[in-house]
Amino acid sequence: MPFINEPETKTVPLWINGRPSKTSSPITFPLISSASGDTIHHAISATEEDAIRACDASLEAFKSWRQTTYAHRRQILYKAVEVLRRRTNEIAAHQVAETSCSQQFAMFNVTGAIDYMEEIASATSEVRGQIAQRPSKPDGTETEGLSLIITEPVGPVLIIPPWNGAIVLPARGISMALAAGCTIVLKASEKCPMTHHCLVEAFEEAGVLPGVINSIQVRREDAAAVTETIIAHKAIRKVEFIGSQAVGRSIGSLCGKYLKPVLMELGGKGPAIVLDDADLRKAATLCAMGATLNHGQLCFSTERIIVQSSIASKFIPLLKTAMSHIPPPGNAVDAASAAHAHDILIDAQSNGATFLFGSPKYTGRNTLQPALLTDVTPTSPIYDEETFGPSATVYFVDTDEDAITQANDSAYGLNAAVHSGSWERAYNVARRLEYGQVNVNAMTVANNGTQPIRGVKGSGWGQAGSIWGIREFVVEKTINMG
């Protein structure tokens, strides 16, 4: 394991050009467990000079990597999958230690990563060119020559993954870029650099060329300057960012400033609509699970539950029972995240919201009690701001039309759910919802590696997963043979 040994701890290195890299500055930062308050390990914090070296290495490696065949890149991905399978327990343990998530959630991250990687590997040969039609002569015959539209990798890319899907989301992004023939600068999350480092190791062990994947992490106070240095670098041709809407605005502004295209998957305010013909017990269970999984720290979380009034008297007791029986929701990733999830509940209560279940109560160091609120007004921040906590707001509507209107009253558009006993009715509602994914009779927290994943409105743009994700990292070039 290429860690720098220190007394009683380990330090996560920078990874540049296929090896641990010394930094131009000896600055490190600690990783502190949210659950226990203990220091787990330290990580080297990159400087702007380190970021430039990572970009330079990525550009140099691109000259060779872009020439590799789809079959070679596919084989690399399959080998990386085998490394993940072999190291599943170890890598999941790092995610648990760094983000204080549950063991079950961390294992789901590894298995989800494997599913995405295998699907992306299988789709590498689906990137194809075309032969375009030639223009016509005055007599109606085709002009001589040949017009070829070929696909090429966009070039070195910057990938900025989040800490909550600490394995599945960076694995997906790295795999899509590698499959397209791109090289990578990974800006690992400062909240889980060890987890991200181990993922990079898996690809290195699988046989990627030195410099194809370069990974750095940086302490929060230096992150803005280092990130801009990377985006500004002439080598970087595209950016993938997964994270909050607030940071997404900043990344998007930088990409606009330097004219770099960006693939973004941002936050959500996922609604679950419960219609009057739904299986109420099943819907209640899925809503409760969707609201609390990983302490609510998922962009796909069920943040809003929209119930038809005619079934409210039956559904709400079932929902309360489901909330009382869910497994422990885990912990917030840090004190600041817990405080935000707590304070937004207090604010809603002060503005007239009432608790149907639970309260704004800490049950652990950085753990909140699951909660349900109603009577939320549109002027309260919780109305359309992610809580990132184990809570949901409940709204009552009369008609399907009202449910659609309530669900679409959001700046976000990532995931939604519709619960109904009629597929036709669910489809008619789903097709009018302004969301990239709508899950029928399932949690809002659901996706599939064989289909495109995207956000609309304020939840980002571009697609991830399978061939749709690979295409995000290629460009089409026309060659006219006269």
Q: For 416-465, how does the pLDDT look when each residue is reduced to its tens digit (9 = 90+)?
A: 999 999 999 999 999 999 999 999 999 999 888 899 999 999 999 999 99
In a domain, 198, yes or no: yes
With bands split at pLDDT 50, 70 and 90, how would you rate the model's confidence at 6? very low
d(C-alpha 482, C-alpha 144), whole Å: 7
Res 7 pLDDT > 70: no
Residue 97 near residue 40, CB atoms below 8 Å: yes
**218 has pLDDT over 60:** yes
- Tokens representing residue 230 in the block: 């990377």
> Which residue out of 55, 182, 192, 299 is catalytically annotated?
299
- Crossing angle of the two packed helices 423-430 and 400-408, in degrees rounded to 10: 40
Q: 234 and 383: one domain?
A: no
Share of the chain above pLDDT 70, in %: 98
Pairing relation of β-strands 391-397 and 302-308?
A: parallel
Same domain? 129 vs 12: yes
pTM of the model: 0.94
Q: Identify the CATH number of the domain in which residue 429 sits.
A: 3.40.309.10
Of the candidates 79, 39, 168, which has an alpha carbon nearest to the alpha carbon of residue 115?
168
Q: Which residues contact 228 (CB under 8 A, 6 or more apart)?
A: 254
Per the model's pLDDT, the better-predicted residue between 351 and 136 turns out to be 351
Instruction: Give pLDDT, residue 447.
Output: 80
Token pair of 392 as six digits: 């949901």
Residues 289 and 426 in one domain: yes
What is the C-alpha to C-alpha distance for residues 123 and 101, in angstroms, rounded to an integer?
A: 32
Same domain for 288 and 244: no
Of residues 447 and 216, more confidence is placed in: 216
Average pLDDT, rounded, for the chain: 95
Lowest mean pLDDT among 7-21, 165-179, 399-413: 7-21
Shared domain check, 83 and 52 = yes
Mapping DSSP to helix (H, G, I), strand (E, B) and coil, where does residue 220 land? helix
8 Å CB contact between 39 and 32? yes
Region of residue 298 (left: phi > 0; alpha: psi -120 to 50; beta: else): beta
Distance CA 37, CA 203 (A): 32
**Which domain, by its residues, includes 115?**
4-266+458-481
pLDDT at 22: 78
Cα angle 247-416-370, degrees, rounded to a multiple of 5: 75
Both 413 and 470 in one domain: the answer is no
Q: How far is CA 78 from CA 84, 139, 156, 357, 451, in A?
A: 10, 53, 22, 46, 19
Is residue 453, in this structure, part of any structural domain at all? no
On whether both 69 and 172 belong to a single domain, the answer is yes
In degrees rounded to 5, what are phi and psi of residue 474?
-125, 160
Query: Between the CA of residue 470 and those of 194, 242, 272, what are the distances in Å?
Result: 26, 16, 30
The verdict on 197 and 220 lying in the same domain is yes
Task: Please indicate whether residue 265 is annotated as part of the active site.
Answer: yes
141 pLDDT higher than 90 = no
pLDDT, residue 1, reads 42
Edge-first strand order for the sheet with 19-21 is: 19-21, 14-16, 213-216, 184-187, 157-160, 238-242, 262-265, 460-461
Map tokens 């949210």 to a residue.
34
Radius of gyration, alpha carbons of the chain: 24
Inter-residue contact 413 to 434 (CB < 8 Å): yes
Q: From the candidates 265, 303, 386, 472, which is the catalytic residue?
A: 265
C-alpha distances in Å from residue 12, one per residue of 55, 140, 223, 325, 361:
19, 67, 17, 39, 35
**Residue 142 sits in a domain of what CATH number?**
3.40.605.10
For residue 286, CA distances in Å to 169, 272, 444 come to: 23, 9, 8
- Round to whole Å and give the CA distance between 127 and 125: 6
| CA separation for the pair 277, 262 (Å, rounded) | 42
Q: How far apart are alpha carbons 264 and 250 in whole angstroms? A: 12
Count CB atoms within 10 A of the CB of residue 103.
Answer: 13
Q: What is the pLDDT of residue 134?
A: 85
Answer yes or no: do 178 and 247 share one domain.
yes
- Residue 412's alpha-carbon distances to 171, 221, 377, in angstroms, are 25, 28, 18
pLDDT tens figures, 28-59: 999 999 999 999 999 999 999 999 999 999 99
Q: Is 101 a catalytic residue?
A: no
- Dump the DSSP string for 109-153: HHHHHHHHHHHHHHTGGG---EEEPPPBPTTSPBPSSEEEEEEEE
Give domain status of residue 476, yes or no: yes
Q: Which of the four pLDDT bands, split at 50, 70 and 90, describes residue 344? A: very high
- Going by pLDDT thresholds of 50, 70 and 90, the confidence category of residue 10 is confident
Is pLDDT at 2 greater than 90 in this prediction? no
What pLDDT, on the 0 to 100 scale, is given for residue 328?
Answer: 86
pLDDT digits (tens, 9 = 90+) for 250-266: 999 999 999 999 999 99
Q: Rounded to the nearest 5°, which phi and psi values hold at 361? A: -120, 135
441 and 347 in a common domain: yes
Are 77 and 102 members of one domain? yes
Residues 256 and 353 in one domain: no
d(C-alpha 201, C-alpha 186), whole Å: 12
**Residue 244 located in a structural domain:** yes
Q: State residue 3's pLDDT score.
A: 41
- 4 pLDDT above the threshold of 50: no
| Strand positions, DSSP E, 321-402 | 354-357, 362-364, 367-368, 371-374, 391-397
Strands (E), 325-399: 354-357, 362-364, 367-368, 371-374, 391-397
pLDDT of residue 313: 97
Task: Return phi, psi of residue 441, to 5°.
Answer: 55, 40
Residue 279 phi, psi (nearest 5):
-75, 100
Task: Rounding to the nearest 10 degrees, give the CA dihedral for residues 444, 440, 312, 299.
Answer: 10
Domain count, the chain: 2
